[in-house]
Amino acid sequence: MTEQASAKVNMEKIVSLCRRRGFIFPNSEIYGGLSSCWDYGPLGVELKRNIKQAWWRAVVQERDDMVGLDTSILMHPQVWTASGHLKEFADPLVECKSCHLRWRSDDLDGNNCPSCGGELTESRLFNLMFKTFMGPIEGEASVVYLRPETAQGIFVNFQNVVNTTRKRLPFGIAQIGKAFRNEITTGNFIFRSREFEQMEIEFFVKPGTDEEWFEYWLEERLNWYVKLGIKRENLKLRQHTKEELAHYAINCRDINYLFPMGWAELEGVANRGDFDLVQHASSSGKSLKYLDEETNEHIIPYIIEPSAGVDRSTLAFLCDAYDEEPYKNEIRVLLHLHPTLAPIKVAVLPLSRREKLVTVAKQIYADLRPHWMVSYDDAQSIGRRYRRQDEIGTPFCVTVDFQSLEDEQATIRERDTMNQIRVPIKELKAVLAAKLSGECFDTQLL
Ligand code: ATP
């Protein structure tokens, strides 16, 4: 982790902005906080919702070969035996404090991380899954786990989806949901927490076509981040070595992002082979085979899994968008968030609190609100208000001034260039819609 992210951005600045402006707060703060749990504030919840919506749109809505699912956090305990989680996560574990690779302490020769030489945590029997009890009686018979990944909910519903949607291979199932891991070491803000959200795809393919689909999904997922504004030079792929591959994986590559603390995993794309369906079929005694109508054979599909973190994506989008530039003897802080992701799309600002201006501005505010998240601000100077919107990534401000009362026009001011254009008030919605539609967010056009 020698490379540094842009000198302008560091984790302290992101944490401070997030807290100051209501993106992210420490959890249970009035009680002193709960380690590595975070709450998304009014702006954070919008940003996170927009990220999830953009993902869902790209991987479900716009595709013919994908469907969605929303499965329960609590699952039958046997799921975790079949998946390998109970066994794999119950070893005496140590974790490297710098690269976060985990090692079985009884497999190690020395006292340092075999990968990077870093210092290791103390060894302890550690199961990453949170255990709880179902029903009124606490005992081994009622033990259930909070899921450590959303994937298993998809695997156990494979046959249900095939039967109810009549999807044929290759097809995929997408799910967004909470996952819980009792991580040994947490930190770096929302990068690694114990409760987080995942956006996972399980893409079922015919054996033999798996590596081709693996490459396809890597490319798709990489492009998704770039399309939504992440600079390509801040993303890179990292191939897992044979030794490092998870017990279920034939192949795995991470999409890494240059976070302020260095390169780290944003998303993992794995070729899981037939491991999951074989395991669940044998553990449940139910057939999870698929009838290949071309050959009339029953086969077990292979699975390609692009697995992304909502919180890590949120952090990456924030870090990548963060910018500071000199402006009139001060520093203008701004988030160059893609309009699709920006929590607030438009801010309506009357030049002053004069009643006539406020009436017009409030009417514009009311007219735009059904279409987008819009905010209204009439406190302090117009310059200050622009800065406030820049800092939270609002792509457009609409300003109503005295001239507006005469010519029925308002000013649209664009965040990145600070360019301004006059637009008839009755055309505001159409003009903003065109500018916000994502593809045509081109500051050159303003
Ligand atoms: P890491 O090596 O960083 O612990 P992982 O390889 O265990 O991650 P996966 O099991 O591949 O992670 O999970 C898929 C995605 O879920 C990750 O790429 C990441 O975006 C997200 N994720 C995993 N663990 C956490 C966590 N503790 N906090 C936030 N996001 C997480």
Which range of 93-97, 120-124, 215-219 scores highest in mean pLDDT? It is 215-219
Q: Are the beta carbons of 129 and 93 closer than 8 angstroms?
A: no
* Cβ count within 10 A of residue 241: 9
pLDDT band at 89 (very low <50, low <70, confident <90, very high): low
Tokens of 345: 């799309």
- Residue from 115, 265, 276, 311 to probe ligand 1 pocket by mutation (most atoms less than 8 Å from CB): 265
For atom 26 of ligand 1, the residue with the nearest CA is: 192
Ligand 1: does its nearest atom lie under 6 Å from the Cβ of 314? Answer: no
Helix spans in 58-209 (H): 77-82, 85-88, 151-155, 158-165
With 50 as the cut, is the pLDDT of residue 441 above it? no
Ligand 1: does its nearest atom lie under 6 Å from the Cβ of 312? Answer: yes
* Cβ count within 10 A of residue 302: 26
| pLDDT of res. 90 | 56
- Residue from 83, 85, 98, 196 to probe ligand 1 pocket by mutation (most atoms less than 8 Å from CB): 196
Report which ligand 1 atom has the smallest distance to the Cα of 254: 18
Report which ligand 1 atom has the smallest distance to the Cα of 255: 18
Report which ligand 1 atom has the smallest distance to the Cα of 313: 20
| pLDDT of res. 2 | 43
For atom 23 of ligand 1, the residue with the nearest CA is: 309
Q: Report the distance separating Cα 176 and Cα 273, nearest Å.
A: 22
Mean pLDDT of the chain: 93
Lowest mean pLDDT, pick from 197-201, 204-208, 291-295, 439-443:
439-443
Tens digit of pLDDT for each residue in 113-154?
888 999 998 887 778 899 999 988 877 778 999 999 999 999
Report which ligand 1 atom has the smallest distance to the Cα of 246: 6
Distance 102 CA to ligand 1 centre (A): 13
Q: When comparing pLDDT for 106 and 43, which is higher? A: 43
Lowest mean pLDDT, pick from 91-95, 158-162, 181-185, 299-303:
91-95
Ligand 1: does its nearest atom lie under 6 Å from the Cβ of 301? Answer: no
Distance 301 CA to ligand 1 centre (A): 25
Distance 309 CA to ligand 1 centre (A): 6
With 60 as the cut, is the pLDDT of residue 91 above it? no
Q: Report the distance separating Cα 341 and Cα 229, nearest Å.
A: 9
Tens digit of pLDDT for each residue in 15-67?
999 999 999 999 999 999 998 899 999 999 999 999 999 999 999 999 999 99
For atom 16 of ligand 1, the residue with the nearest CA is: 309
This prediction's pTM: 0.91
Average pLDDT over residues 430-436: 95
Between the CA of residue 439 and those of 74, 295, 422, what are the distances in Å?
A: 40, 43, 22
For atom 11 of ligand 1, the residue with the nearest CA is: 268
Q: Report the distance separating Cα 85 and Cα 75, nearest Å.
A: 13
- Residue from 192, 259, 310 to probe ligand 1 pocket by mutation (most atoms less than 8 Å from CB): 192
Q: Are the beta carbons of 414 and 396 closer than 8 angstroms?
A: yes
Give the residue carrying structure tokens 């994937």: 151
pLDDT band at 438 (very low <50, low <70, confident <90, very high): low
Distance 100 CA to ligand 1 centre (A): 11
pLDDT band at 5 (very low <50, low <70, confident <90, very high): low
CA count, 13 A, side-chain hemisphere, 365? 17
What region does 26 belong to: left with phi over 0, alpha with psi -120 to 50, or beta?
A: beta
Ligand 1: does its nearest atom lie under 6 Å from the Cβ of 267? Answer: yes
Q: Report the distance separating Cα 219 and Cα 226, nearest Å.
A: 11
Ligand 1: does its nearest atom lie under 6 Å from the Cβ of 309? Answer: yes
With 70 as the cut, is the pLDDT of residue 1 above it? no
pLDDT band at 110 (very low <50, low <70, confident <90, very high): confident
What region does 28 belong to: left with phi over 0, alpha with psi -120 to 50, or beta?
A: left
| pLDDT of res. 3 | 63
Distance 315 CA to ligand 1 centre (A): 13
Ligand 1: does its nearest atom lie under 6 Å from the Cβ of 265? Answer: yes
Q: Report the distance separating Cα 165 and Cα 60, nearest Å.
A: 14
Return the CA Rg of the chain: 25
Ligand 1: does its nearest atom lie under 6 Å from the Cβ of 198? Answer: yes
| pLDDT of res. 318 | 98
- Residue from 189, 202, 237, 312 to probe ligand 1 pocket by mutation (most atoms less than 8 Å from CB): 312
Ligand 1: does its nearest atom lie under 6 Å from the Cβ of 181? Answer: yes
> What is the distance of C-alpha 396 from the center of its chain?
24
Report which ligand 1 atom has the smallest distance to the Cα of 267: 18
